Chains A and B, each alone.
Chain A
Amino acid sequence: MAEWFVAKASEMADGDRRILTAGKREIGVFHKDGQFHAYSNTCLHQGGPACEGLLINNVVDIVGADRLYHGQKFGDEVHFVCPWHGYEYDIKSGECIGDRKQKLRKFEVVRRGDEIYVVA
């Protein structure tokens, strides 16, 4: 395992990301809501660039206590979306939203001063 330099933290605004090529691996590094997250950039579906699509909040069906449907809204969970086919992943866990038993490989992110590294 080695530490791979990603970027200076001060150069990654909230919502920014970088795609790191570490040897033969591609890793997506996100900065979102004050935290850094790093995942394999290979979608579990057909191998698309999973970390290179939209960041978008989850969609929620609003169902009341009366069990009636009242429309839809965006929820609080942030997803990143594979741009090939739309597979969505939870930015905090890397879980695949369609089947949470499946996860993208997660990598440790280390901060040294202003510098961000990924351990891979």
Chain B
Amino acid sequence: MDMPRNETRPVRFDEFSTPKHLEHASEQARQRNYQDFLIIDVDSHHYENENYAEVFQYIENPVIRRDAVESAGRSTGLLNTQVGTQNLAGRITRQKGRRIEKPRAAKHRDIGMTLDWMDAIGVDYACLFPTPMLFLGAHPVPEIEAAMAQAYNRWLCDNVLAHEPRIVSMLYLPFNDPEASYRTVQEFGDRKGVVGFMVTSPRYKPVHDNAFIKTYALIEEMGKTISFHAAYNWDDRALSMTNRFISVHALGFMFFNMIHMTNWVVNGLPERFPKLKVMWIESGLTWAASLAQRLDHSFMMRTSDCPQLKRKPSEYMQEMFYSTQPMEMPADLSILEATFKMIKADTQLVWSSDYPHWDFDLPSTIYDLPFLSDQAKRNILGGTAAKVFNLPTKPVKKIP
């Protein structure tokens, strides 16, 4: 029997520890017995810019490498970025806190930082993505995107994925350069911990361009996943009409993936690559349910616009995978239940945290849903992702 405790502590802002910051998440994990639940996070992040001194050394071209090294630490330099106060003007405290944090001992600081939050939340395996590089698809020079992608991918494989089996990744595809994208799959497809390839969505290359066909074919042949990771581009002509971060974030994270999905389906790519695993990341769920209905509605009148399709667009969409976060949570859960039904969540939805970003989700967003069966929860939280990424199914985390 638990004895009553009476302790008090101050709140300190001059120290930071991820396990402490996430103590309530660990409590949730213990209460729900996540130790017996396989939990795979298909979308999490580190801040690769904290390692740019190391990453830049991997840039192959000496001219670009010098440019990168010389501009390091400056607000304007070789790499593009985006306006946006993701930490809510300091209200989200972990972004500042991580600078003074001392993570567990590990082969690399980013491994220690990542394992700290994974165990605290209850995650067994995490797919790790970069942060500032999510905007790199809007870089004006494709050559820089390609050089940076190669350097980052090599750095990640050598320094993180090679040393920690619980961390995997879908590597950055320099999509503005189709040939470099193809070479990326060739070079990294068999590296340890590489479970697929990721296209950052804010960009202006149509996914149905013939230049990408051989890359899709190679990813399909390797049995890997191609994913489209959402983000915003406040410089986009339409999105630049918005004036608050909430607006550009809410729209931008759906906008580009809606365009890519539409092109993907209408141009018959699911028919041409029936075994290619396609995943849509960080757009939430409502966009997919909405788009499926709109495309189906128009398809019945305009089959001549998409003659490769043998079925309705929604049927192809129900064969793709969707990450959960940021999962919309309507007060009326029957709306969410209908959304789950639209995308066949039991087999196609894969949980994601997006940790440590400002709008991360915990496993409880799925575990606590009253309309899901136990098996559906197990599938969404980890079972489906284990199949997609070919990962072990035994929980290995150590919840504090």
Contact = CB atoms under 8 A, between A and B. Distances in A.
A23 interface: yes
Contacts, number: 74
A32 interface: no
A54 B90 CA distance: 8
A56 interface: yes
Given A48-B24, A49-B24, A85-B358, A21 B91 contact: no
B5 A21 contact: yes
A46 interface: yes
B8 A86 contact: no
A19 B358 contact: no
Central interface residue in B4, B359, B361, by most chain A CB within 10 Å: B4
A64 interface: no
Contact of B92 (A22, A42, A52, A86): A86
A112 interface: no
B94 interface: yes
Contacts of A21: 5-8
A89 B221 CA distance: 52
Interface residues of A, number: 31
B23 interface: yes
A49 B364 CA distance: 16
Nearest to A17: B11
Given A47-B24, A54-B90, A81-B91, A18 B10 contact: yes
B9 interface: yes
A22 B6 contact: yes
B28 interface: yes
A16 interface: yes
A16 B8 contact: no
A7 B8 contact: yes
Contacts of B364: 46-47
Interface of A: 2, 4-7, 16-24, 29, 42, 46-49, 51-54, 56, 81, 83-86, 88
Interface of B: 2, 4-11, 21, 23-25, 27-28, 88, 90-94, 358-362, 364-365
17 contacts: A5-B6, A5-B8, A19-B10, A19-B11, A20-B8, A21-B5, A22-B6, A23-B6, A29-B8, A46-B362, A54-B90, A81-B88, A81-B91, A83-B93, A84-B92, A85-B92, A85-B358
Closest 6 CB pairs of A and B: A23-B4, A83-B93, A21-B7, A18-B8, A81-B91, A86-B88
Given A4-B6, A20-B6, A20-B7, 16 more contacts: A5-B8, A18-B11, A19-B8, A19-B10, A21-B7, A46-B365, A47-B25, A49-B23, A53-B93, A54-B91, A54-B93, A81-B88, A83-B93, A84-B92, A86-B92, A88-B91
